[in-house]
Chain A
Amino acid sequence: IVEGKYHDEL
């Protein structure tokens, strides 16, 4: 998972 991308949450 590309963490830190802004909306990485559902």
Chain B
Amino acid sequence: MNIFRLAGDMTHLLSILVLLLKIYATKSCSGVSRKTQELYAIVFLARYLDLFTDFISVYNTFMKIVFIASSLAIVWCIRVHPMVKRSYDKDLDTFRHYLLVAASFLLALFLHEKFTFLEIFWAFSIYLEAVAILPQLVLLQRSGNVDNLTGQYVFFLGAYRGLYILNWIYRYLTEPRFTRWIACVSGVVQTALYADFFYYYFISWKNNSKLKLPA
């Protein structure tokens, strides 16, 4: 474990806590894409299939459970909780996210570490996570003004994988046989998708103005 990966995991955890705070405090999910939340739930379920069979550390197991439980709880909130469900704007959240699931799974069938059930689902979860934010970014562009907590949620979610890239560079330089091409390339693509969001987020922070993504 290195400082970049720990910072990345903590930033990821922070993004989830900010989203939970937003939903709990405002009893609303306005500006939040349910589809992105559903994709993330699939990402964690597909990636942590080895949760009970492969023990790495208490930290690793604990965080996997937190990520799975929180992503399912958020999807449950948006789908079932009467107050929150009412604020979900399905007319804005129209990204055809099942195409992202299909494309990622198809790619995982061709590009994986080993042709085994666990490795194909692991690669699938890596590819799916890279594009999971798309419905959310499209929703932000459509919904015009973005409330602070939602903006912070997306910012931390994008930053965590950026920190993981530093972690992969660090591990590549310090561990002899470290190669994680699938995770690295996918992580770079994932972080690049946030590029324009980061730009507008920085502008809004610098001008101390409301975050607004151009339509």
**Interface of A with B (CB < 8 Å)?**
1-10
B63 close to A (CB within 8 Å): yes
Q: Report the stretch among B50-58, B149-157, B204-212 that lies at the interface.
A: B50-58
B9 close to A (CB within 8 Å): yes
Chain A residues closer than 8 Å to B1, beta-carbon distance: 1, 3
Q: How many residues of B contact A (CB 8 A)?
A: 21
Out of B67, B175, B183, name the residue touching A9 (CB < 8 Å). Answer: B183
Other A-B contacts than A1-B57, A8-B56, A10-B9, 19 sampled, CB-CB below 8 A, are A1-B56, A1-B59, A2-B56, A3-B175, A5-B54, A5-B56, A6-B113, A7-B47, A7-B50, A7-B54, A7-B122, A8-B60, A9-B5, A9-B164, A9-B183, A10-B12, A10-B60, A10-B63, A10-B67
Q: Give the A-B contact count at a CB cut-off of 8 A.
A: 30
B residues 26-79 near A (Cβ < 8 Å) are 47, 50, 54, 56-57, 59-60, 63-64, 67
Interface majority SS on B: helix, strand, loop or mixed?
A: helix
Out of B12, B50, B60, B164, name the residue touching A1 (CB < 8 Å). Answer: B60
Chain A residues closer than 8 Å to B183, beta-carbon distance: 9
Chain A residues closer than 8 Å to B175, beta-carbon distance: 3-4
Chain A residues closer than 8 Å to B67, beta-carbon distance: 10
| 30 A–B pairs (Cβ distance < 8 Å), ordered by A | A1-B1, A1-B56, A1-B57, A1-B59, A1-B60, A2-B56, A2-B57, A3-B1, A3-B175, A4-B175, A5-B54, A5-B56, A6-B113, A7-B47, A7-B50, A7-B54, A7-B122, A8-B56, A8-B60, A9-B5, A9-B164, A9-B167, A9-B180, A9-B183, A10-B9, A10-B12, A10-B60, A10-B63, A10-B64, A10-B67
Chain B residues closer than 8 Å to A9, beta-carbon distance: 5, 164, 167, 180, 183
Instruction: Give complex CA distance A5, B66 in Å.
Output: 21
Which single residue of chain A is at the shortest CB-CB distance from B48?
Answer: A10
Instruction: Give complex CA distance A9, B12 in Å.
Output: 13
